[in-house]
Structure 1
């Protein structure tokens, strides 16, 4: 395996990298490898977020469960758009 060497890294960036590794219990080579792999995934996919089928199914079930929350003056209105006066079909 190729060694990873970073030169001329400012102290703030080095500290951020070190903190990520510390939080996850990784040594510096593991930390750099994980950060490079994850960063490459972001750029290779152009930042697109993708879910595997299990995650997608769970998210869909959660969204459908939220649709069943009864109307009330609080949480059930979050993210819902009220129709403008005189237009009852908007937002449906």
Structure 2
């Protein structure tokens, strides 16, 4: 099997890879191989988003806005219907 070396990757990405490895009980090389395979399958199937720079910026902004939402117990109920007995 061919070796692939990742250099200068973002520490946050490295941490995410290590977290997946730990949770799944895989070593890091197996984790990387599985993540690459899954990612390639998603891209080849057209399931992975192909965002241009502007779209990616908008998505990041939207996620940041959602993260700033107050922790309001009523907020979690938006879009949900009440139980059959409530009016």
The TM-score range, normalised by the shorter chain, is: 0.5 to 0.7
User: Displaced runs of 4+ in structure 1, greater than 4 A?
Assistant: none
Q: Distance in 2 between matches of 1:15 and 1:8?
A: 13
Q: Distance in 2 between matches of 1:3 and 1:25?
A: 21
User: Which consecutive unaligned segments of at least 5 residues does structure 2 have?
Assistant: 49-81
Aligned length: 51
- What's the offset of the Cα at 1:6? 0.6
TM-score (structure 2 length as normaliser)? 0.54
Q: Distance in 2 between matches of 1:22 and 1:3?
A: 22
| Structure with max Cα Rg | 1
TM-score (structure 1 length as normaliser)? 0.51
Q: Distance in 1 between matches of 2:4 and 2:30?
A: 10
Give the root-mean-square deviation of aligned CA atoms: 1.7
Secondary structure, counterpart of 1:30 in structure 2: helix
User: Which consecutive unaligned segments of at least 5 residues does structure 1 have?
Assistant: 49-72, 76-92
